[in-house]
Amino acid sequence: MARTLEGKVALVTGGGTGIGRAASLAFAREGATVIVSDVNADTGEETAERVRAAGGGAVFIKADVSRASEVEALIDEALRTYRRLDCAFNNAGIAGPIGSLTHEYPDDGWDHVIGVNLKGVWLCIRCEIPHMLAQGGGAIVNNASGGSSARQALRRMWRASTGSPVSPAPPHWNTPRKGSALTRSIRAPSARRSSTLSSPPCPTSYPS
C-alpha cells in the first residue's frame, strides 16, 4: 500500500521522548523524512537513530523552542538540508513546577512553562508558516492537552499554558470550554486554502 507521506519532510519538536518519539517513528513509517528536534541532544539523537534503524530517514537538530534564535536556526538548517517543510508537529512541552498554590507559584517556573508550552508553539508556527505558504501548502499540528480543561488541581500553570495553543475541548468531555486558543487565532494569507493548521484534541493520556 502506498505510504501517505512519501517524499514529505516532517519536523517534530520535543522528539526525544514520549509522544514526540512515537510521532517521529510514525511519520517515518508513512514515508516522511523526519527532522527530530529537542532541547536534549542525547534523547533526540537516539530518536533519529531509532528512525534510521527502522529504515526511515532522520536527522537530529538541537533547539530550545522557547528561544527565538534557536527556532529560527532550526528551521533554517532544516530547509538548507531538505529544501522543504511539509509537516510540523509542534509538540515540545513541559509540566513545570507541580503542586504550588497559585499565589506561591515561582516566577521562573511561570516564565519557563509559558516560554516552552505557549511562546514555543508560537515561535515555531511563526517560522514554519512562511515556508509552507511559499511552497504552496503544508500541515501544522500543535500538541496540547485535554488536561488544560480538566480538573488537575496540582498542575495549574501547565493547564493554562497547554490550554492556550488548543481549540476548545470537544463537547463529549463535559468540561468547561476554553477560549484562549493560539491555534485558532492564527491568520495567514491562503492558510485555509493551502495549509492545515490544527490542534487535535487528545482523548487519551500517554504514559511518558
Q: Using CB under 6 A, list all residues that contact ligand NAD.
A: 13-14, 16-20, 38-40, 43, 64-66, 91-94, 116, 120, 143, 145, 162, 202, 205-206, 208
Query: Which is closer to ligand NAD, CB of 18 or CB of 194?
Result: 18
Nearest partner of 117 among 21, 12, 13, 11, judged by Cα = 13
Query: Which is closer to ligand NAD, CB of 41 or CB of 54?
Result: 41
Work out how close the CB of 126 gets to ligand NAD at its nearest, in angstroms, rounded to a whole number. Answer: 15
- Chain residue at closest Cβ approach to ligand NAD: 93
Work out how close the CB of 71 gets to ligand NAD at its nearest, in angstroms, rounded to a whole number. Answer: 9
Query: Which is closer to ligand NAD, CB of 33 or CB of 164?
Result: 164
Work out how close the CB of 131 gets to ligand NAD at its nearest, in angstroms, rounded to a whole number. Answer: 19
Query: Which is closer to ligand NAD, CB of 172 or CB of 193?
Result: 172
Q: How far is residue 153's CA from residue 98's CA, in Å, rounded to a whole number? A: 9
Query: Hey, CA dihedral for 72, 16, 14, 2, is it positive or negative?
Result: positive
DSSP code at position 85: -
Rg over CA atoms, the chain: 17
Burial of residue 100, with CB atoms counted within 10 A of its CB: 0-12 exposed, 13-18 middle, 19 or more buried: middle
Work out how close the CB of 38 gets to ligand NAD at its nearest, in angstroms, rounded to a whole number. Answer: 5
Asked whether the beta carbons of 98 and 158 are under 8 A apart, the reply is yes
Nearest partner of 125 among 82, 169, 187, 177, judged by Cα = 187
Query: Which is closer to ligand NAD, CB of 6 or CB of 111?
Result: 111
Asked whether the beta carbons of 35 and 11 are under 8 A apart, the reply is yes
Asked whether the beta carbons of 122 and 185 are under 8 A apart, the reply is no
Work out how close the CB of 193 gets to ligand NAD at its nearest, in angstroms, rounded to a whole number. Answer: 28
Residues 6+ apart with CB under 8 A from 54: 25, 28, 29
Count of residues in the chain: 208
Query: Which is closer to ligand NAD, CB of 138 or CB of 146?
Result: 146
Work out how close the CB of 176 gets to ligand NAD at its nearest, in angstroms, rounded to a whole number. Answer: 17
